[in-house]
């Protein structure tokens, strides 16, 4: 879940775009830079009592962090409060295990990609840029990790993770339903505008078209994510539910959603380094 919650007065989403950074002149850092960031994270969290962190390698179930917190309720008994996505998958597992590289060390150009093959037609270039930012734009063939964030607070969908808390509840239970998608130039592929459609059911805000046919989800206890937590830990507790199969998503629907959504999202976010320190990982049952 690249959900990076920060700050006191609104708990704001850490906005970190992660697009085609190579085209914009960003360099890729050496392995030593990532190792130094991981060492800094270990030093900052040693004996400090932090709970388990995210993202992680979903194929490894081991973890030594036993800071326990209750699983968040089923999403149907919570309010959808935010939807956003990252370029490249933050997590490693399922059909997204191809490493994209270290990126620039700040969350741009790193993460994991779809392992499968695409046709020439699916990879046909777009006429106009999609989600363009200072770090580039999205193109067919890119992988994204979409986070549907749910809160136990009485809240409405809104911009940033500040929408997931309220004056009445500053520490709600948080759940992230995760879908990994590969962008294709195909009008017949799945649509983000449809997948992210919001309805109310039994007085809860929901995404009723969230796919449940992408394999048995991997559930685990973790945290919010984002590049701001590469060298410090996230203090937030999150129940993750990550679908292992990748859905093909029509890139034109992504363009349309970025132009018109209630979350004020207009680009992809960057990713946090994969957390590998066993002291910062929960065991996956």
Per-residue pLDDT tens digits of the chain, which is 285 residues long: 444 333 323 333 332 322 233 334 457 999 999 999 999 999 999 999 999 999 999 999 999 999 989 999 999 999 999 999 999 999 999 999 999 999 999 998 999 999 999 999 999 999 999 999 887 899 999 999 999 999 999 999 999 989 999 999 999 999 999 999 999 999 999 999 999 999 999 999 999 999 999 999 999 999 998 889 999 999 999 999 999 999 999 999 999 999 999 999 999 999 999 999 999 999 998
**pLDDT the model gives residue 67:** 92
Sign of CA dihedral 114, 214, 129, 136: negative
Counting beta carbons within 10 angstroms of the beta carbon of residue 284, is it exposed (0 to 12), middle (13 to 18) or buried (19 or more)? middle
Q: How far apart are CA 131 and CA 144, in angstroms?
A: 12
Q: Do 248 and 122 contact (CB within 8 A), yes or no?
A: yes
DSSP H or E segment with residue 84 = strand 79-87
Q: How far apart are CA 22 and CA 10, in angstroms?
A: 33
**pLDDT the model gives residue 26:** 56
DSSP, collapsed to helix, strand or coil, labels residue 201 as strand
């Amino acid at each position: 879940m690249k959900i990076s919650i920060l700050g006191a007065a609104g708990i704001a989403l850490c906005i970190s775009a992660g697009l085609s950074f190579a085209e914009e002149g960003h360099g890729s850092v050496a392995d030593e830079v990532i190792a130094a960031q991981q060492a800094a994270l270990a030093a900052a969290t040693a004996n400090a009592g932090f709970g388990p962190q995210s993202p992680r390698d979903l194929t490894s179930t081991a973890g030594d962090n036993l800071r326990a917190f209750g699983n968040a309720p089923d999403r149907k008994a919570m309010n959808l409060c935010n939807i956003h996505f990252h370029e490249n998958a933050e997590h490693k597992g399922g059909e997204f295990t191809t490493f994209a590289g270290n990126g620039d060390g700040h969350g741009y150009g790193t993460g994991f990609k779809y392992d499968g093959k695409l046709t020439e037609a699916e990879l046909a270039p777009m006429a106009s840029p999609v989600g363009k930012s200072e770090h580039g734009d999205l193109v067919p063939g890119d992988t994204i990790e979409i986070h549907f964030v749910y809160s136990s607070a009485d809240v409405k969908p809104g911009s940033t993770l500040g929408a997931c808390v309220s004056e009445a509840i500053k520490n709600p239970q948080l759940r992230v339903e995760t879908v990994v998608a590969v962008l294709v130039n195909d009008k017949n592929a799945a649509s983000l505008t449809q997948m992210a459609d919001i309805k109310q059911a039994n007085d809860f805000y929901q995404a009723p078209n969230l796919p449940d046919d992408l394999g048995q989800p991997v559930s685990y206890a973790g945290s919010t994510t984002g590049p701001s937590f590469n060298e410090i830990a996230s203090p937030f507790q999150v129940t993750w539910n990550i679908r292992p199969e990748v859905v093909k998503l029509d890139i034109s629907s992504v363009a349309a959603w970025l132009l018109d959504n209630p979350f004020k999202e207009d680009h992809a976010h960057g990713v946090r380094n994969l957390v590998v320190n066993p002291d910062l990982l929960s065991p996956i049952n």
